[in-house]
Structure 1
């Protein structure tokens, strides 16, 4: 896998807040121990935005300059968004921000959409993306884990209470932990260590737990951004 952790316990950081709104959040990510971060997901407006944004571009460049892999967020609307529109987002990110990978969100889970996502993954790699992430938010059909599609599958995205009751399908045991990511929000600060331990126990080699809730919980920084937070 290129650009995303081969080792357990690293963070995928959905940095879904504009640097003009929360510059401290972007500075904290740039100052974090690089070895703790698998990748940072850039998301200006549920995609790259219609027009270039200099403030956003400068902040993204600072992350790239310290060696953090950058993934561009592109919504696929569970297979309903046209292939060409998704690819256009990827190309725009590549041009404006030099991304090394793509985070395809709202990815379908049923086997009938596999051919569509296989084409998208192929197009993303042809566009220069070394890393392809499928943001299912739930466990998909096992076919989505086949070689040549995504490097990383986000098989959980939800709140802490839902995560505590989530169960793993047996097929996930046939794949390395580094293939899976769990994104958990609304995690109380006093349970941050428990959340990190549960993500690891469920064999998600990459993860993220944040305190945020509501419409955009990813406006808050993840626990564990620095080693001291979980010691």
Structure 2
């Protein structure tokens, strides 16, 4: 889940809540200090990451790619900076393309191979935010894909690609924002697996949806645990 929340004050409370969540359901938190790792270590993030790890959760670092418009050298630099500053378990490769253009696929394969060359243990999640060609999964260019990131109203008509049925649902994730009622959230959490995704995050927030946890968070955790 995207925890773009600075871990101080009420933000620290949110990270503590996520640590509690990690004791109940499998939890991967996306770390994003400054649209990337930032340039200096922040003790508050160090402590927040340690909390998540102590509870059995994982933390992956946010890396922007700007749909291949960002130089690979800058992406590699961000990855290295994360590893020098924070104890991360992998990387969240954001702004991933969703087409079959050879240069695009090769770009993300290069990022993936670079990360796995550092350690095969690092998890790589790609975020195209929409369905992708099967080639992305078969090469692969990531271990897990966010194949939906949009509003709850758009999610009502979402359908996975047919090829996804040949892969474990654990390789796919949905992020849904603007689900204002707890009943709508519960329907989304309960139905995600049938739509091909074992990983789901739902928030009631619309504007800046990842800057705070939704008020129905405890209900969401319960729904995920029961699913």
Structure 2 length normalisation: TM-score?
A: 0.88
Deviation of 1:65 (Å): 2.7
Name the structure 2 match of 1:122: 113
Name the structure 1 match of 2:81: 92
Does structure 1 conserve the Cα–Cα contact (< 8 Å) formed by 2:144 and 2:172? yes
Name the structure 1 match of 2:5: 17
Deviation of 1:66 (Å): 2.5
Long gaps (5+) in structure 1: 1-12
Does structure 2 conserve the Cα–Cα contact (< 8 Å) formed by 1:33 and 1:226? no
| CA deviations over 1:197-220 (Å, ceiling 9, x no partner) | 221220201111111111x20123
Does structure 2 conserve the Cα–Cα contact (< 8 Å) formed by 1:36 and 1:225? no
1:71 to 26, 46, 60: 60
CA 1:154–1:125: 2 relative to 1, 3 Å: same
2:220 corresponds to 1:208: no
Name the structure 2 match of 1:5: none
How far, CA to CA, are the matches of 2:184 and 2:123 in structure 1? 31
CA 1:58–1:39: 2 relative to 1, 3 Å: same
2:125 corresponds to 1:136: no
Give the 3-state SS of the residue equivalent to 1:183 in structure 2: strand
2:51 to 54, 62, 68: 62
Structure 1 length normalisation: TM-score?
A: 0.87
Does structure 2 conserve the Cα–Cα contact (< 8 Å) formed by 1:87 and 1:120? yes
CA 1:16–1:93: 2 relative to 1, 3 Å: same
Which has the higher relative contact order, 1 or 2, with Cα contacts under 8 A spaced 6 or more apart? 1
How far, CA to CA, are the matches of 1:72 and 1:24 in structure 2? 20
| CA deviations over 1:83-117 (Å, ceiling 9, x no partner) | 11111111111121111111000001112211111
Name the structure 1 match of 2:209: 217
Deviation of 1:33 (Å): 4.1
Does structure 2 conserve the Cα–Cα contact (< 8 Å) formed by 1:36 and 1:226? yes
Deviation of 1:183 (Å): 0.4
Deviation of 1:152 (Å): 0.3
Alignment RMSD: 2.0
Deviation of 1:147 (Å): 4.1
